[in-house]
Structure 1
């Protein structure tokens, strides 16, 4: 006897019709995909932030080597 919440109501999976079970399973598949996609978004956000930090470091180093401050004003 497994139960699940839908809206504010609790339902028993043993009491579902075949059509209702199919919809319940579709919801479970969607939830799993959403979790997977959220994990992928997090990975890409982390990578993007890392690339941004590296680019900023490279630009600051380049500015230091050219005699300019990072805002472009000559020393």
Structure 2
């Protein structure tokens, strides 16, 4: 039986109404976008740290 857990509560997706399934789809869409944004932020933070290290090296040579 397919189930999904939302906020710690498990739901049977086969007995969900169409309205509930639509809301579930929206939640899943938002969760995917949040995961994508977190990955982007991590990549940008890594790049920023690299730029900061490079700047520090340049400034230490001056």
Structure whose CA Rg is larger: 1
Q: Tell me the alpha carbon deviations over residues 19-69 of structure 1, each in whole angstroms, 9 at most, x when there is no partner.
A: 00000000000000000000000000000000000000000011xxxxxxx
How far residue 4 of structure 1 moved from its aligned partner, in angstroms, is 1.2
- Segments of 4+ in structure 1 off by > 4 A? none
Tell me what 1:7 maps to. Answer: 7
For structure 1, list consecutive stretches of 5 or more residues without a partner in the other structure: 63-75
Q: TM-score w.r.t. structure 1 length?
A: 0.78
Tell me what 1:18 maps to. Answer: 18
Q: TM-score w.r.t. structure 2 length?
A: 0.93
How far residue 6 of structure 1 moved from its aligned partner, in angstroms, is 2.3
Tell me what 1:32 maps to. Answer: 32
| Aligned-partner Cα distance in 2 for 1:43–1:8 | 30
Q: Tell me the alpha carbon deviations over residues 4-27 of structure 1, each in whole angstroms, 9 at most, x when there is no partner.
A: 112332111101000000000000
| Aligned-partner Cα distance in 1 for 2:34–2:8 | 21
More helix as a share of residues: 2
For structure 2, list consecutive stretches of 5 or more residues without a partner in the other structure: none
The two structures, once aligned, show a CA RMSD in angstroms of: 0.9
Aligned length: 62
